């Protein structure tokens, strides 16, 4: 692909990204749940760390469900719960993460960090930190991994109006949506994680992850695995339409 064409794709994605609100990136099944993940850093971290193979609307509603089940969302009290108690909690939730057996250990790891390293304030995971440090913290949590850690730092900027100084270190999350859209656009040579990461780094070396929200939104809204709605896609004019 020529540099001119790659630039056109990048500019189209950046333009679409400007129209995407934080609320769009944190969708919920229940309207009341949206305020919890948008305003409570601990709730935000819970949903982020559980985001593995489950619809976004379900994941971002789970902190609300936990709060309803326990009567609180207090990291000190949750930190005092045993793994067995957390297992029972997840079993009685109306909505569950895909890897429900891993979820208690994930929450245990996250909450220990919040209590032991952040004095109970989850926002201290990122306040005054570089993105690469925040990425390392999330990646250390059971079941999270580098992809979700990348998503975490990108969403923190959007949801909590943080500006990390090291944008160069912030990659896209190479999930099903971003991989598919980058390949169909013609920006990546294959529908793989490595190809998606390589493409986004070529598109914007100073901030590879800046195109993530646009790619994710396009993949969820128009560029579905089958029967994509190309006529209404905001980047259709620069798309190679590779299926």
Digitized pLDDT (tens) for each residue of the chain, 243 residues in all: 788 999 999 999 999 999 999 889 999 999 999 999 999 999 999 999 999 888 999 999 999 999 999 999 999 999 999 999 999 999 999 999 988 999 999 999 999 999 999 999 999 999 999 999 999 999 999 999 999 999 999 999 999 999 999 999 999 999 999 999 999 999 999 999 999 999 999 999 999 999 999 999 999 999 999 999 999 999 999 999 877
With vertex at residue 18, the alpha carbon angle to CA 39 and CA 8, rounded to the nearest 5 degrees, is 145
Residue 169 φ then ψ, to 5°: -90, -5
Question: Domain spanning 3-21+171-238 has what CATH number?
Answer: 1.10.1670.10
Number of other CB atoms surrounding residue 226 within 10 Å: 5
Tokens of 102: 């891993």
Residue pair 126/160 in contact by the 8 Å Cβ criterion: yes
pLDDT at 167: 98
Residue pair 150/171 in contact by the 8 Å Cβ criterion: yes
- 62-70 helix and 83-91 helix, angle to the nearest 10 degrees: 110
Tokens of 22: 């934080």
Statement: the pTM of the whole predicted model exceeds 0.85: yes
Domain 40-162 has CATH 3.90.940.20: no
Residue 44 CA, chain-centre distance (Å), reads 10
Write the pLDDT tens digit of every residue in 106-165.
999 999 999 999 999 999 999 999 999 999 999 999 999 999 999 999 999 999 999 999
Q: Would you call 27 helix, strand, or coil by DSSP?
A: coil
pLDDT at 15: 97
Domain ranges of the chain: 3-21+171-238, 40-162
pLDDT at 3: 84
pLDDT at 30: 94
Give the separation between CA 112 and CA 117, rounded to whole angstroms: 8
- The phi-psi region of residue 143 (left if phi > 0; otherwise alpha if psi is between -120 and 50; otherwise beta) is left
pLDDT at 53: 84
């Amino acid at each position: 692909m020529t540099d001119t064409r790659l630039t056109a794709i990048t500019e189209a994605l950046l333009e679409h990204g400007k129209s995407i609100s934080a609320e769009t990136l944190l969708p919920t099944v229940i309207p009341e749940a949206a305020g919890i993940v948008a305003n409570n850093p601990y709730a935000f971290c819970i949903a982020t760390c559980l985001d593995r193979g489950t619809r976004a609307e379900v994941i971002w509603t789970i902190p609300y469900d936990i709060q309803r089940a326990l009567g609180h969302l207090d990291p000190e009290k949750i930190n005092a719960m045993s793994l067995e108690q957390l297992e029972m909690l997840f079993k009685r939730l109306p909505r569950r993460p895909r890897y429900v057996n891993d979820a208690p250990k994930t929450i245990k790891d996250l909450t220990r960090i919040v209590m032991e390293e952040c004095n109970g304030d989850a926002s201290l995971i990122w306040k005054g930190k570089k993105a690469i440090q925040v990425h390392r913290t999330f990646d250390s949590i059971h079941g999270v991994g580098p992809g979700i850690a990348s998503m975490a730092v990108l969403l923190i900027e959007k949801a909590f109006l943080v500006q990390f100084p090291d944008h160069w270190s912030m990659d896209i999350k190479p999930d099903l949506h971003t991989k598919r859209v980058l390949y169909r656009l013609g920006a990546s040579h294959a529908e793989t994680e490595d190809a998606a990461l390589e493409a986004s780094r070529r598109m914007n070396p100073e901030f590879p992850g800046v195109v993530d929200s646009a790619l994710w939104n396009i993949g969820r809204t128009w560029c579905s695995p089958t029967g994509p709605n190309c006529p209404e896609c905001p980047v259709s004019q620069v798309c190679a339409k590779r299926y």
